[in-house]
Amino acid sequence: MKLFCLAGMLAVSATFVLAGDTKLPQLAQIKIAAEQGDPAAQLKLAERYYSHADLYNAEVWFRKAALQGLAEAQYRLAGVLSLQVSHKENDKPVTRKPNPEEAVGWNQRAANQGHAGAQSSLGHAYRDGTGVKQDYVQAYKWYELATRNKNFSAMVYRDALILKMSSKQVAQGQKLADAFVVQPQQK
């Protein structure tokens, strides 16, 4: 498989050279822009690493974009932080355990910007008590906001949660959702 991939990359490179095309391949352009601090390019580069199951480098680049306030990067970083990540440092295996508390913090930043996926993820965290104290009212709030943002799986979770809540708790969650105001980029 690796030999096939290497042969494919060489063929693509040869095509650029033979065609006299001096433009860099798109991934090279993305990497240059990411290294120069462009958060959108950092997100794209992180997504490439993620798609190749390189969670260590995906985390590095998601974090760079997240620190610049990009909600999608904050959400994606939270997702990676929820996983165990292994890589090598100095030829020795290193493993980072899941970090649900940090994941909640990044999801909170993205959710406050109106990111529906992050809002739903916060609903899960509060429902299950993962990285935060279990709180059905907060879980309801975040599921409701995600539902309003067209995340329809959040509606299913919200409705299942209602069956575990008192009517007073549902009213409190609804009130919190109604009072929510989207905030600008959060670093």
pLDDT in tens, the chain (187 residues): 443 343 343 334 444 444 444 556 799 999 999 999 999 999 999 999 999 999 999 999 999 999 999 999 999 999 999 999 988 888 889 999 999 999 999 999 999 999 999 999 999 999 999 999 999 999 999 999 999 999 999 999 999 999 999 999 999 999 999 999 999 887 7
pTM score, two decimals?
A: 0.84
Judge if 2 and 94 occupy the same domain: yes
**DSSP annotation of 23:** S
19, 48: one domain: yes
Cβ neighbors of 64 (< 8 A, separation 6 or more) are: 34, 37, 39, 42, 46, 73
- Count the neighbouring beta carbons within 10 Å of the beta carbon of residue 153: 13
**How many CA within 13 A on the CB side of residue 35?**
6
User: Quick one: 16 and 89 in the same domain?
Assistant: yes
Domain count, the chain: 2
Are residues 93 and 124 located together in one domain of the fold? no
Same domain, 7 and 92: yes
At which residue do the structure tokens 């009072």 appear?
A: 179
Q: Tell me how far apart the alpha carbons of residues 149 and 143 are, in angstroms, rounded to a whole number.
A: 10
Torsion over CA: 38, 39, 45, 49 (sign): positive
Q: Are 128 and 165 part of one and the same domain?
A: yes
Do 89 and 125 fall within a single domain? Answer: no
Among 66, 98, 130, give the residue marking a domain's end: 98
In a domain, 103, yes or no: no
